[in-house]
Structure 1
Amino acid sequence: MGYINNNTGYPKDLLASRAIIKRNNYAVIPPDGLVKNIIPGFENCDITILSTPKLGASFVDYMVTMHANGKNEQGFGADGIEVFVYVIEGDVTASADKASHQLKTGGYLYCPAGVKLYLKNNSQTSRLFLYKRRYQPLAGYTPYVVAGNVNDLAKINYEDMDDVIIQDLLPKELAFDMNFHILTFKPGASHGYIETHVQEHGAYLLSGQAMYNLDNDWVTVKKDDYIFMGAYALQACYAVGHEPLSYIYSKDCHRDVEL
């Protein structure tokens, strides 16, 4: 049933999955069923490729489990490609543009197009959320390397709701054509309305459970699930259960639509 939670061999029940794949619309991918992918440059790492253009996304998301001595000395990224890494749990050294950053749980690093990301695991096991996307240049603006930790970020009431908090991981500047955010809902909290917009999201659930509206399908999701939300897919959620619902997600922004 998937390497990531060590459920292998024959199941004790019927073959079943909570996964939902609706290409160019939305997808829900739980840990059960994830398979390993071999990506050049990554050593002693288990990697699952999540969203890709084959699913309908303009970006690629990965789940990376770095084992002892796990590393990438080749560099992740390329000309024209921006990359981002978030540490779900663990301790890694992330290097970019000749500078090294120790990223523990909640740490992150953004590399602009043409700046490669190098990784080295410092603990027994580290889990990472990894992202890449082709950068859309804007004349007169140049993005730069950004490193930080969510524990140091301001917690802002989301759309004036004091039981929903948003944190912005990257600056809201025109130099950046995307951003990462973390939304945290207290149990029982929800979005204020069902959203409909051109932006895409790739979201990883850090904690809690939710009833999520995805293109008017109400779907149950929980910690460690991954959600892809395509352009114009309706979206909103209620946090359910006894723990806060929290998820990290990407969003394309700050650019006009090209024809």
Structure 2
Amino acid sequence: MSYRTNELGYPTDLLSSRAVVERGNFALIPPKGLVKNVLPHFDNCEMTILSTPKLGAGFVDYLCRVLPNGGNTHGFGGNGIQTFIYCLEGELTVTIGEETHELTTGGYAYCPPTETLKFKNNSDKATETFLYKKRYQEAEGFAPYKVIGNTNDMEDQNYEGMTDVGLKDLLPTDLNFDMNFHILTFHTGASHGYIETHYQEHGALLLSGEGMYNLDNHWIPVKEGDYIFMGAYNLQACYSVGRNAPLSYLYSKDCNRDVDL
């Protein structure tokens, strides 16, 4: 096991971290301090595990750096587990069932729980990806299906009537899906319209910018590269405060299902 940021050797300052972890409630996890994990079937991949049930999440998020000729050709997910992969930077060949697709930066693939997701980096440079898995919550008469796309081909929609906040829906919003992925982008000075409190939980990776995020009424500075877990009923909202880039993040949301008892 080693550090994802490849910082090795003796410390040069006091040991400190911006990380804040409130299990079952929320967590802010910055890049510094993240470790690499060795996992079966992820060959030549530097895996970092983020949200898990041990944190309080009903899903698992990963950062996966796929080195040249690396990947998972055994299959990720299936048997009731749905999966999703987002290409943060680089190129990746993805196979779902009998079909193969080429992803580039901004590209993504959703794999339904009846199939496994396979991928390989055939380029000569490392590819940075974000991975997700969750057990699919069935509903009679509905079934999810494969989705392939690229966020660079999508236009922002105005978010809740605000022209300086953009939203991209990465998956269809129909009832076949029990979750979705979105990208929210806040231009400097923009914010949520109100502090949210809801049953749904999120895992969010900050793609750009800087901001102040309200997590259970704690205002915490965040920036590109940070990861945030927001549990059910955690109070949440943000302001964008960066000068050089909008605050933008990729996040998951469970949706379209009643509560199981």
TM value normalised by structure 2: 0.97
- Quick one: distance in 1 between partners of 2:193 and 2:208? 20
- Quick one: distance in 1 between partners of 2:89 and 2:9? 27
Shift of 1:6: 2.1
- Quick one: distance in 1 between partners of 2:3 and 2:38? 14
Q: Deviations over 1:164-200 (max 9, x none)?
A: 0000000011000000000001111111100000000
Other structure's SS at 2:7 match: coil
Shift of 1:214: 0.2
Displaced runs of 4 or more, over 6 A: none
Other structure's SS at 1:4 match: coil
Structure 1 counterpart of 2:251: 249
Q: Deviations over 1:6-38 (max 9, x none)?
A: 222112100011111100000011111111111
Are 1:216 and 2:243 matched, yes or no? Answer: no
The residue type equivalent to 1:254 in the other structure is: N
- Structure 2 gaps of 5+ residues are none
Other structure's SS at 2:152 match: helix
- Quick one: distance in 2 between partners of 1:73 and 1:90? 18
- Quick one: distance in 1 between partners of 2:240 and 2:145? 35
Other structure's SS at 1:34 match: coil
Other structure's SS at 2:4 match: helix
- Quick one: distance in 1 between partners of 2:134 and 2:66? 22
Shift of 1:204: 0.2
- Quick one: distance in 2 between partners of 1:10 and 1:146? 46
Other structure's SS at 1:79 match: coil
The residue type equivalent to 1:192 in the other structure is: G
- Structure 1 gaps of 5+ residues are none
Structure 1 counterpart of 2:148: 147
> Percent identity among equivalent residues?
62
- Quick one: distance in 2 between partners of 1:8 and 1:203? 27
TM value normalised by structure 1: 0.98
The residue type equivalent to 1:122 in the other structure is: N
Shift of 1:241: 1.6
Contact in 1 for aligned 2:3/2:35 (Cα 8 Å)? yes
Shift of 1:47: 0.3
RMSD after superposition? 0.9
The residue type equivalent to 2:249 in the other structure is: Y
The residue type equivalent to 1:106 in the other structure is: G
Structure 1 counterpart of 2:42: 42
Structure 2 counterpart of 1:227: 228
Q: Give the length in aligned residue pairs.
A: 258
Structure 2 counterpart of 1:112: 112
Shift of 1:114: 2.2
Contact in 1 for aligned 2:78/2:112 (Cα 8 Å)? no
Q: Deviations over 1:115-160 (max 9, x none)?
A: 1000111331111100000000111111100000001123100001
Other structure's SS at 1:12 match: coil
Comparing 135-144 with 227-236, greater Cα deviation is found at 135-144
The residue type equivalent to 1:36 in the other structure is: K
Structure 1 counterpart of 2:85: 85
